C-alpha cells in the first residue's frame, strides 16, 4: 500500500470511532523555544495530555509531520530517516486500554492486512522498588486479540535491552521490558520524574521481517534488538500515573483522575511492513525518487557502492522540501543550518552518483523535490501552488550552487593539506567547519590518494564541538516560554506589540518567521527584504511605547479558526492550528491594535509592561528574513 493510502485509511478508521481529525502542526514548533523542530506526534499536544481541555474534544487523530536532527548521520542504512509522519490517536480522559489496543490490532491486521503472525508486542514489566505494577492488563488484551487470530501468545519477562540479548525470544509473543523501554514521561524513567509529573507504561508493536539474527547485536534476538529483524511500527502510551510529593519509594505514584492514551505509529514504517520489506526506502515516497536517480545516473540501487547515496538524497530532499515549505531558509544557525546541511549532504552524494548540476533543470535535487511535491501536495496544501513550488525549488537550487563554490575552495585547501601525505584531525575539522568540506569527502579523496586521516581524532573534535553547542543551547533557552514568570510574560506581550508595529512601519508583508522569548529579552524573526533604517527602528519603538502608555486591555477570545481568519488574526508562518483557536487581542476585537493566534501567557493590560521598550539589535539571519532583539528597560 502507498503512504497516501495508509494515511487515508488510518484517519478514516479513527474518524468512524468518534475522533476529530486535527491538522498536522508545523515542523517549526509554535511558541516552543526549547526545540528546533517538531519531533513527534505528541509534541504539539503535550498541554492537552497534561490536562488542558482541547477545543476539538476528547478524541483526536492526525498524521503529524516530524523531523529528528539526531538521525541525520544515521541515514544511509535501510531504516533511518530524518523526516517522517507519525500517525496518532489520543484519548484525553475518555477511552483507555481495552478500546485502544483492539482498535490498533484491527487496523493493522484487517485494514492494512498485516499478517498477525508477524506482529510482536511489549508491555511494562513493573518496578517493585517504586511499587509500579506490571502491566498485565495490556498483556491480557493482547493475548485475547492474538487468540482470535488462532495464535497462542505466550508472555515472557525480558527486563532490559541487555537482558533481551541474553535471554532471546523464549517462544514469546508478548514481552515485558523494564522502564528503559516501556515507560514514558517527559523526565524519562519513573525515578527521574518530579512531583506532580504524569507518566505511564507503554505498549509497542513490532513487525518481524524474518531476517537472520546478526550476532554483532548480542547472542540472542528479541523484539527490541537492533539487528534489523524487528521494526517497531507503533507505540501506545497509557498516561495513568502521577508522581506524588511523598518520599520515594513508599507511595511515590498515584493514579491520575483523568487517564490519557497517546498512540504514535510511524507511517513510513507501517508502509514498509505492508510491503514486507525491511528496506524502508522501497516504499513509494522514496522509490519514486530513487527510480529517477537510477535513470539519470545509470547506476543501480542494488550496487552496495551507491545504495547509501541513493538513500541520503531521497531522505534529505524530502525533508528539505517540507522544512522549506514551513518557512525555514538555509543559514549558518539553528534550523537554517540543519536545512543547509541536508541540502549540501544530498548535493555531495549527487556528485558521487555523477548526476547533473549544470543548471537548475539538470539538478537531480530539484527534480527529487518536485517528485516530493507531487506526491504530497494534495495532503499538505503548503506544498501546493506556484509560489510554494518556486520557493522550494529555488531554495534548493541556490544552495546547491553555493555548495559547488564551497567545494571548489575546499578542494584547493584539501590539496594543500594532502600534499603532506597525512591529514591531522585538526586539519580535517578545519576543512569541515571553516571551508564546509564534508568529512566523508575528505575520507574518500584521501583513500583515493592513499593518504591517512586521523578519523578518531576528528570524531573527538566533533564530539567536543557538539557538547559546547548543546551547552550553548541549554543556556540560550533558559527561561524561555516554558517559563511563565512575570518577566517572560511581559516580554511575550511586548512581542505582540512589536509585530504589529513592524507591519505599520514596514508594510503588511511582514510576517513572523520565528521567536524566542526569555526573561532577559525577546527575539523575533520576520519577513523583510532589507536592513531597517534608524528612522524606521525609532518609529517602531515609538509605537510600542505609545501602546504601553495607553494602558490597553489584553483580551483572550476562543473562536473558530474561520472567524479568526476573517478578523485577520496574525499567526506564525507555516504553523497549523486546530479548528477552534485561542486569540489574543490588544484592545477589543472590533478596534484592536493587534490580533494574534496564541496560547499565552500574557499580561491583562499593556500598562503592566512597566518600562520602556528598546530595540537592541536588528540584523539579517537569512535571505529575506530579519531579526530584532529587544528589551523592556
Q: Are residues 467 and 492 in the same domain?
A: no
Instruction: Among 274, 291, 308, give the residue marking a domain's end.
Output: 274
d(CA 135, CA 139): 7
Q: Are residues 124 and 22 in the same domain?
A: yes
pLDDT at 465 over 60: yes
Burial 288-303 (b: 16+ CB within 10 A, else e): ebbebbbeebebebee
Residues 6+ apart with CB under 8 A from 588: 553, 555
Q: Are residues 498 and 460 in the same domain?
A: no
Q: In terms of C-beta density within 10 A (0-12 exposed, 13-18 middle, 19 or more buried), how is residue 531 classed?
A: exposed
Asked if residue 414 is part of any domain, the answer here is: no
In percent, the amount of the chain with pLDDT more than 70 equals: 93
Q: Are residues 51 and 199 in the same domain?
A: yes
* CATH number, domain containing residue 507: 3.30.980.10
Asked if residue 333 is part of any domain, the answer here is: yes
Instruction: Among 247, 274, 301, give the residue marking a domain's end.
Output: 274
How much is the pLDDT for 610? 81
Cell numbers placing 462: 566533533
Q: In terms of C-beta density within 10 A (0-12 exposed, 13-18 middle, 19 or more buried), how is residue 508 classed?
A: exposed
pLDDT at 341 over 50: yes
Asked if residue 53 is part of any domain, the answer here is: yes
Task: Please give the full DSSP string across 531-587, using - where no structure is assigned.
Answer: PPPHHHHHHHHHHHHHHHHHT-BEEEEEEEHHHHHHTT-B--TT----SEEEEEEES
Structural domain containing residue 565: 486-632
Q: What is the DSSP letter of 235?
A: E
The predicted-structure confidence for 528-546, as pLDDT tens digits, reads as follows: 989 999 999 999 999 999 9
Q: Give counts: helices (H), strands (E), the chain.
A: 18, 19
Global confidence as pTM: 0.73
pLDDT at 474 over 70: no
The predicted-structure confidence for 287-322, as pLDDT tens digits, reads as follows: 999 999 999 999 999 999 999 999 999 999 999 999
Contact 584, 602 (CB under 8 A): yes
In percent, the amount of the chain with pLDDT more than 90 equals: 57
Q: Are residues 246 and 358 in the same domain?
A: no
d(CA 489, CA 249): 37
Instruction: Name the phi and psi angles at 330, rounded to 5.
Output: -60, 135
Instruction: Name the phi and psi angles at 566, rounded to 5.
Output: -65, -35
Name the range with the highest mean pLDDT among 225-229, 447-451, 565-569.
Answer: 225-229
Q: Are residues 469 and 495 in the same domain?
A: no
Contact 375, 360 (CB under 8 A): no
As beta bridge partners, residue 241 has 199, 255
How much is the pLDDT for 472? 42
pLDDT at 52 over 90: no
Decide which of 1 and 251 is more confident. Answer: 1
d(CA 159, CA 122): 11
Asked if residue 107 is part of any domain, the answer here is: yes
Contact 122, 175 (CB under 8 A): yes
Number of compact structural domains in the chain: 4
Query: In the predicted model, what is the mean pLDDT of the chain?
Result: 88
Contact 48, 63 (CB under 8 A): no
Peptide bond into 249 cis (omega under 30): yes
Mean pLDDT of 465-478: 48
pLDDT at 9 over 90: yes
Query: DSSP H helical segments within 82-168, as ranges?
Result: 97-106, 136-148, 161-167
Nearest 10 degrees: CA dihedral of 71, 73, 76, 79? -20
The predicted-structure confidence for 74-83, as pLDDT tens digits, reads as follows: 898 888 999 9
How much is the pLDDT for 497? 95
Place of cell 484487517: 110
Mean pLDDT of 614-620: 92
Q: Are residues 259 and 287 in the same domain?
A: no
Q: Are residues 255 and 306 in the same domain?
A: no
The count of residues in the chain is: 633
d(CA 147, CA 153): 7
d(CA 175, CA 184): 17
Place of cell 486479540: 145
Q: Are residues 392 and 341 in the same domain?
A: yes
pLDDT-derived band of residue 624, with 50, 70 and 90 as boundaries?
confident
Decide which of 98 and 620 is more confident. Answer: 98
Asked if residue 412 is part of any domain, the answer here is: no
How much is the pLDDT for 96? 96
The predicted-structure confidence for 126-157, as pLDDT tens digits, reads as follows: 998 888 999 999 999 999 999 999 999 999 99
Decide which of 597 and 212 is more confident. Answer: 212
As beta bridge partners, residue 205 has 121, 234
Contact 36, 26 (CB under 8 A): no
Q: In terms of C-beta density within 10 A (0-12 exposed, 13-18 middle, 19 or more buried), how is residue 156 classed?
A: middle
Asked if residue 415 is part of any domain, the answer here is: no
pLDDT-derived band of residue 476, with 50, 70 and 90 as boundaries?
very low
pLDDT at 215 over 80: yes
Asked if residue 147 is part of any domain, the answer here is: yes
Q: Are residues 426 and 302 in the same domain?
A: no
pLDDT-derived band of residue 202, with 50, 70 and 90 as boundaries?
very high
How much is the pLDDT for 577? 66
d(CA 199, CA 144): 26
Instruction: Name the phi and psi angles at 8, rounded to 5.
Output: -60, -45
Instruction: Among 245, 274, 303, give the residue marking a domain's end.
Output: 274
Asked if residue 413 is part of any domain, the answer here is: no
Q: Are residues 182 and 226 in the same domain?
A: yes
Mean pLDDT of 571-596: 78
Question: Which whole-number Å values give the CA distances from 122 to 164, 177, 200, in the listed order?
Answer: 12, 7, 14
Q: Are residues 261 and 349 in the same domain?
A: no
d(CA 329, CA 161): 40
* CATH number, domain containing residue 196: 3.30.930.10
End-to-end CA distance of the chain: 59
Amino acid at each position: 500500500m502507498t503512504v497516501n493510502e495508509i494515511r487515508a485509511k488510518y484517519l478514516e478508521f479513527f474518524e468512524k470511532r468518534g475522533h476529530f481529525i486535527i491538522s498536522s502542526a508545523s515542523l517549526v514548533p509554535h511558541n516552543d523555544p526549547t526545540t528546533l523542530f517538531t519531533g513527534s506526534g505528541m509534541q504539539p499536544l503535550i498541554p492537552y495530555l497534561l490536562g488542558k481541555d482541547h477545543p476539538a474534544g476528547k478524541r483526536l487523530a492526525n498524521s503529524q509531520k516530524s523531523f529528528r536532527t539526531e538521525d541525520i548521520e544515521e541515514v544511509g542504512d535501510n531504516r533511518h530517516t530524518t523526516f517522517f509522519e507519525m500517525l496518532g490517536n489520543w484519548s484525553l480522559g475518555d477511552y483507555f486500554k481495552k478500546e485502544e489496543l483492539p482498535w490498533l490490532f484491527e487496523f493493522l491486521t484487517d485494514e492494512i492486512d498485516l499478517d498477525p503472525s508477524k506482529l510482536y508486542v511489549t508491555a511494562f514489566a513493573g518496578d517493585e522498588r517504586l511499587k509500579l505494577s506490571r502491566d498485565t492488563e495490556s498483556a491480557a488484551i493482547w493475548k485475547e486479540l492474538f487468540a482470535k487470530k488462532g495464535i497462542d501468545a505466550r508472555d515472557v519477562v525480558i527486563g532490559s535491552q541487555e537482558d533481551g540479548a541474553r535471554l532471546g525470544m523464549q517462544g514469546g509473543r508478548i514481552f515485558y521490558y523494564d522502564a528503559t523501554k516501556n515507560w514514558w514521561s517527559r523526565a524519562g524513567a519513573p525515578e527521574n520524574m518530579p512531583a506532580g509529573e504524569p507518566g505511564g507504561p507503554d505498549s509497542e508493536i513490532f513487525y518481524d521481517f524474518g531476517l537472520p539474527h546478526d550476532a554483532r547485536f548480542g547472542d540472542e534476538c528479541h523484539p527490541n534488538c537492533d539487528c534489523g529483524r524487528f521494526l517497531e511500527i507503533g507505540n501506545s502510551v497509557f498516561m495513568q500515573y502521577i508522581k506524588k510529593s511523598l518520599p520515594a519509594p513508599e507511595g511515590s505514584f498515584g493514579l491520575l483522575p483523568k487517564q490519557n492514551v497517546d498512540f504514535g505509529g510511524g507511517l513510513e514504517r507501517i508502509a514498509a511492513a505492508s510491503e514486507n520489506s525491511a528496506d524502508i526506502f522501497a516504499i513509494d515516497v522514496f522509490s519514486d525518487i530513487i527510480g529517477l536517480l537510477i535513470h539519470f545516473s545509470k547506476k543501480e540501487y542494488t550496487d552496495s557502492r551507491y545504495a547509501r547515496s541513493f538513500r541520503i538524497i531521497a531522505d534529505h530532499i524530502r525533508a528539505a522540501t517540507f522544512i522549506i515549505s514551513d518557512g525555514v531558509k538555509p543559514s549558518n544557525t539553528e534550523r537554517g543550518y540543519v536545512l543547509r546541511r541536508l541540502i549540501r549532504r544530498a548535493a555531495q552524494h549527487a556528485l558521487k552518483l555523477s548526476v547533473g548540476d549544470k543548471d537548475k533543470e539538470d539538478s537531480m535535487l530539484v527534480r527529487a523535490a518536485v517528485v516530493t511535491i507531487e506526491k504530497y501536495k494534495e495532503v499538505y496544501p503548503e506544498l501546493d501552488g506556484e509560489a510554494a513550488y518556486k520557493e522550494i525549488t529555488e531554495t534548493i537550487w541556490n544552495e546547491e550552487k553555493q555548495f559547488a563554490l564551497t567545494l571548489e575552495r575546499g578542494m584547493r585547501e584539501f590539496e594543500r593539506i594532502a600534499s603532506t601525505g597525512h591529514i591531522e584531525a585538526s586539519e580535517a575539522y578545519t576543512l569541515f567547519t571553516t571551508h564546509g568540506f564534508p568529512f566523508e569527502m575528505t575520507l574518500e579523496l584521501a583513500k583515493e590518494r592513499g593518504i591517512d586521516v586521523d578519523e578518531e581524532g576528528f570524531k573527538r573534535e566533533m564530539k567536543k564541538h557538539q557538547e559546547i553547542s548543546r551547552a550553548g543551547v541549554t543556556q540560550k533557552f533558559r527561561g524561555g516560554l516554558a517559563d511563565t514568570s512575570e518577566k517572560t510574560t511581559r516580554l511575550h506581550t511586548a512581542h505582540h506589540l512589536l509585530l504589529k508595529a513592524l507591519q505599520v512601519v514596514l508594510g503588511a508583508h511582514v510576517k513572523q518567521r520565528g521567536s524566542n522569548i526569555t526573561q532577559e529579552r525577546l527575539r523575533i524573526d520576520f519577513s523583510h527584504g532589507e536592513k531597517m533604517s534608524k528612522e524606521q527602528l525609532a518609529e517602531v519603538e515609538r509605537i510600542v511605547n505609545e501602546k504601553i502608555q495607553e494602558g490597553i486591555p489584553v483580551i483572550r477570545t476562543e473562536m473558530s479558526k474561520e472567524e479568526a481568519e476573517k478578523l485577520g488574526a496574525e499567526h506564525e508562518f507555516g504553523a497549523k492550528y486546530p479548528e477552534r483557536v485561542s486569540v489574543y487581542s490588544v484592545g477589543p476585537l472590533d478596534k484592536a491594535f493587534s490580533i494574534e493566534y496564541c496560547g499565552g501567557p500574557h499580561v491583562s493590560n499593556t500598562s503592566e509592561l512597566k518600562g520602556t521598550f528598546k530595540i537592541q539589535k536588528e540584523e539579517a539571519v537569512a535571505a529575506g528574513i530579519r531579526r530584532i532583539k529587544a528589551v523592556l528597560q
